[in-house]
Amino acid sequence: MTIKDIAKECNCGIGTVSRVLNNHPSVSEETREKVLSIVNKYGFVLNKNAKELKMHDNKTIVIFVKGTSNVLLNSMLEVIQKKIETLPYNASVINLDEDGNEALYANNVCYELKPMGMIFLGGSPDRYKEDFLKIKIPCVFISNQAESLENKNLSSVSTDNLLASEFSADYLINKGHKKIGVIGGNLETSEISKIRYQGFLNSMNKAHLQFDFDKAYITSKYSYSGGAKAAKKLIEQYPDLTAIFTMSDTMAIGACRQLKDMNYDIPEKISIIGFDGLSLANFFCPRLTTIKQQEVILAEEGLQILLDSILQNTEAVHKIIPFRLITGESVKDIRAI
């Protein structure tokens, strides 16, 4: 069933049918109704390939999600997809491993899909700088700062990770913790981990506290099991710590579980602070004290920036979305009274 068949049954030209289906003004009300009625009768829909071939654009927005099973990124994805559905665009989602090179992938996608724009959920702009700079279409990084790329077409919306992690460490320190271990991502491959670590260090330095990296920093995957394994190792290396700074709620949860299994009560014996502010953090036992990233706002703003730069060719924007600390039950105040 093509536009031709519809035209035949309507006794009109294919041009007319096309005009009706594209809401062009110059069609008489009478013809329009006739065409519409028979279109509805068959549930006819224009062939997307033919249309896009002709129109010479494909209205696709590609979304890269880095780190499968990352709850935070997934909830942002959801928001974005839902929004795109209401727009004349198609979303195409590509899931990547935590340590894949999304920039390389993205360059290929540019050739193959020729998308209008791309969204990177949890990418590493700096790490793959060279490859990202090759990209010529509008892109936005969500959750990672990309200002350093200085590319006119690469925007970003992010939580201030540096400040947030500093704030988080400040909180622990203010509650009297001095011996703090860190469960974080791979500092070689994960940019965001590097930034959060820097924020943590800033806080420690401010308080004139030492940090022995080899002893107190454990590299972990952003996952429950990663956090659990890391916690075990950390406790072995640094048995007298009083608090653990983790770089995600998933790590924090894994760590909690592991420590409970080792009979360390939380927060009585050891305090743990998370990062992300997943809804789960508020249902976990104990409720996690954590940094809340505003994922809905991040997602919405990110998409909006991308749309603006697609439609109005605006320059790159780098936006910071505020975070806040959610006080749960996983951190104990150990200051002497």
Partner DNA sequence: CTGTTAGCGCTTTCAA
Partner DNA sequence: TTGAAAGCGCTAACAG
What's the CA gap between 142 and 301, in Å, rounded? 9
Question: According to the binding rule CB under 7 A, does residue 28 interact with DNA?
Answer: yes
Q: If we measure between CA atoms, which residue out of 301, 271, 310, 307 comes closest to residue 288? A: 271
Which residue type sits at 222? Answer: Y
Residue from 202, 219, 225, 314 that binds a second copy (CB under 8 A)?
Answer: 225
**CA distances in angstroms from 317 to 5, 136, 236, 280, listed in the order given:** 48, 16, 45, 31
**Which of DNA, a second copy, none does residue 337 bind to, with CB < 5 to 8 Å depending on kind?**
none
**Which of DNA, a second copy, none does residue 205 bind to, with CB < 5 to 8 Å depending on kind?**
none
Q: If we measure between CA atoms, which residue out of 59, 246, 253, 267 comes closest to residue 169? A: 246
- The residue range among 49-57, 165-173, 195-203, 320-328 that interacts with DNA, by the rule CB under 7 A, is 49-57
Identity of the residue, 44 or 167, whose beta carbon is nearer to a second copy in the bound complex:
44
On the 0-12 / 13-18 / 19+ scale of CB atoms within 10 A, 314 is middle
Question: According to the binding rule CB under 7 A, does residue 13 interact with DNA?
Answer: yes
- The residue range among 9-17, 136-144, 152-160, 246-254 that interacts with DNA, by the rule CB under 7 A, is 9-17
Sheet with 271-273: strands ordered across: 217-219, 180-184, 243-246, 271-273
- The residue range among 10-18, 23-31, 148-156, 275-283 that interacts with a second copy, by the rule CB under 8 A, is 275-283
SS3 of 8, please? helix
**Which of a second copy, DNA, none does residue 283 bind to, with CB < 5 to 8 Å depending on kind?**
a second copy
Radius of gyration for the chain, computed over Cα atoms and rounded to the nearest angstrom: 26
Would you give the distance in Å from CA 132 to the centre of its chain?
A: 17
Question: According to the binding rule CB under 7 A, does residue 37 interact with DNA?
Answer: no
Question: According to the binding rule CB under 8 A, does residue 228 interact with a second copy?
Answer: yes
Beta-carbon contacts of 302 under 8 Å, excluding residues fewer than 6 positions away, are 76, 80, 119, 140, 141, 142, 155, 157
What's the CA gap between 320 and 161, in Å, rounded? 9
Residue from 36, 38, 46, 187 that binds DNA (CB under 7 A)?
Answer: 46
Residue from 9, 36, 38, 51 that binds DNA (CB under 7 A)?
Answer: 51
Identity of the residue, 136 or 206, whose beta carbon is nearer to DNA in the bound complex:
136
Interface with DNA by CB under 7 A: which residues?
2-4, 11-16, 18-19, 21-22, 25-28, 30-32, 46-47, 50-51, 53-56
Interface with a second copy by CB under 8 A: which residues?
43-45, 47-50, 52-53, 58, 68-69, 74-75, 78, 81-82, 92-93, 95, 108, 111-113, 224-225, 228, 253-254, 256-257, 260, 279-280, 282-286
